Amino acid sequence: MVIMNEQPSAADWTESAYSLFKAHRVAMIAFVPDGGLKRLIELCQHDAEMRAVTLTTEEEGVAFAAGAFLGGKRAALLMQSSGVGNCINMLSLPRVCNMPLLALVTMRGEWGEFNPWQVPMGQNAQQLLEASGVIVYRVETFADAYPTIEAAIMQAFQSRCRVAVLISQRLIGAKNFVRGDR
């Protein structure tokens, strides 16, 4: 049996992110499906003015965002922290070509993590992104979400920077597996 510990504010940050995407003309979303991003992905998929593209691996999203920029559009990459490692080499593209990149990353491997395989990348995602030339902001509480995501959007697209917002596992809720009686 799988039990998700969701906090009431977990869905609210996704509404903030979606409204900011709309306000700042982010028209394309690339994502690898993730439970922590489910509501935000659904909002984007149901918006006729947005293009939401499912990826097979996260590094495709970096190239997707570069193509969107070259086509005059704004894009965001949505992924879980375990996908950060898949992007490291591809992050040279927007860095060398001076292209903006906006990524929202739901964190795993912290706050009550049950899965030991999620811990290494969750504990190192921020350092790996920073070493790759990405500016990193963190969202720990619902109150942090709107101003932090807006600052990231503005910095990415106005200054042509690579910016990632790490959404804390504490905010989105930790996943737990509970075993039944044997």
- Tens-place pLDDT, residues 121-148: 889 999 999 999 999 999 999 999 999 9
> Could you tell me the pLDDT band of residue 7, with boundaries at 50, 70 and 90?
very low
Within the chain, strands assigned E span: 2-4, 26-31, 51-54, 74-80, 101-106, 135-139, 162-167, 175-177
Query: Which residues contact residue 26 at a Cβ distance below 8 angstroms, ignoring those fewer than 6 apart?
Result: 20, 50, 74, 75, 76, 102, 153
Provide the CB-side half-sphere exposure for 160 (13 A, CA).
10
pLDDT at 86 over 70: yes
Q: What is the mean pLDDT of residues 175-180?
A: 61
Residue 158 lies in a domain: yes
Residue 52 lies in a domain: yes
Residue 95 lies in a domain: yes
Higher-confidence residue of 75 and 170: namely 75
Listed range (3-17, 36-50, 63-77, 86-100) with the worst mean pLDDT: 3-17
Full domain range(s) for residue 35: 2-177
pLDDT at 11 over 90: no
Split into its structural domains, the chain has a count of 1
**pTM for the structure as a whole:** 0.88
Smallest CA-to-CA distance from 145 within 11, 6, 5 is with 11
- Which residue do the tokens 């609210």 mark? 12
Could you report the per-residue pLDDT of 20-50, keeping only the tens digit for each?
A: 999 999 999 999 998 889 999 999 999 999 9
Residue 23 lies in a domain: yes
pLDDT at 2 over 90: no
Looking up residue 34, the CATH number of its domain turns out to be: 3.40.50.970
pLDDT at 17 over 50: yes
Residue 182 lies in a domain: no
Could you report the per-residue pLDDT of 45-64, keeping only the tens digit for each?
A: 999 999 999 999 999 999 99
Residue 142 lies in a domain: yes
Residue 118 lies in a domain: yes
- Which residue do the tokens 């394309």 mark? 28
